[in-house]
Amino acid sequence: MASQIQDWVENGGKLDDCAVLYRSNSQSRVIEEALIRCQIPYRIYGGMRFFERQEIKDALAYLRLINNRQDDAAFERVINTPSRGIGDRTLNILRNLTRERQITLWQAIQIAIHENMLTGRASTALLRFQELINSLQQDTFKMPLFAQTDFVIKHSGLYDMYKQEKGEKGEVRIENLEELVTATREFVKPDDADEMTELTAFLTHASLEAGEEQASPHQSCVEMMTLHSAKGLEFPRVFMVGVEEGLFPSFRSFEEPGRLEEERRLAYVGITRAKQNSLFPMRKAAVCMQKKSDICSPVLSQSYHKSVSKKFVCGERLHER
């Protein structure tokens, strides 16, 4: 897809002619990485970049603290996420100790307890927090990075906390956390990171990705957005990502009455955002698993199947028009 956008610009097209649409926010990560690699400026319409999302920052903060107890920013983010009943008064005592004695927040816990600065309830909550972080590190020490990430998300309480969040917002947060596990599974440690652990290398990568700024409001760039956000907008060239069975529509759509028709209506919204071209990039794995004659997603009606021309490029992503 990124190479298609580059070709478009080289042939006189503009970046802001192009929009990338996807069913779920969690799908944005791989698109962002591809555009960053190709140095293509982009903007997420009405949303945040993957590594800037609350649930992703929470999960990364746990991983950072497990990796480095001196990371006070990570400590501050997860000390009460999920809630542990540790109030501002307790945290202010720890913060004051760090300033006065030039120590970390992690070290301040033991000093505050030893010098009887805290209530019994606060001391117990802080000790349990330290036990949690220590056990997460010990239990995941020999795990592959993706298994370590999944374990930390599940056993830190983050997964259950966001699972209890009602409605689509909670579902999206869970999808994003699952996508983070996928990101760690796909991560390949750079050649210049030999002295780093895999976790340290990934956290460095995530930090750099989060530091990449989106395009400025007046800069020509590719627009990225969910299909729901695209309603009412139009672009000359539209890439609809993940239009394949299991992603769009999801497997759940085949189980819930009326859900598949709803997905088809959403696909119609995406297709009609294009003034000139609608393209459907797909994963190589998805192409390999399906016959070329049966490559269209069930969300595309039979009438669309007839009007879609297919092009298969060896070694590249599939695109359709």
> What is the CATH topology of the domain spanning 54-209?
PCRA; domain 4 (1.10.486)
Report which residue type is found at 86.
I
Do the beta carbons of residue 222 and residue 31 sit within 8 Å? Answer: no
- Which segments of the chain have a pLDDT < 50? 285-295, 302-303, 306-307, 311-321
Count of all residues that appear for the chain in the document: 321
Do the beta carbons of residue 308 and residue 300 sit within 8 Å? Answer: yes
Report which residue type is found at 56.
I
DSSP 299: T
> What is the CATH topology of the domain spanning 2-49+218-320?
Rossmann fold (3.40.50)
Burial class of residue 315 in the structure, from the number of CB atoms within 10 Å of its CB (0-12 exposed, 13-18 middle, 19+ buried): exposed
**Residue 185 in tokens:** 């599974």
DSSP 47: S
Tokens 């995530």 -> residue: 206
Paired strand residues for 278:
238
At 46 the pLDDT is 81
At 300 the pLDDT is 64
At 213 the pLDDT is 63
Residues of the chain with CATH 1.10.486.10: 54-209
Residues of the chain with CATH 3.40.50.300: 2-49+218-320
For the CA atoms of 121, 124, 126, 128, the dihedral, rounded to the nearest 10 degrees, stands at: -140
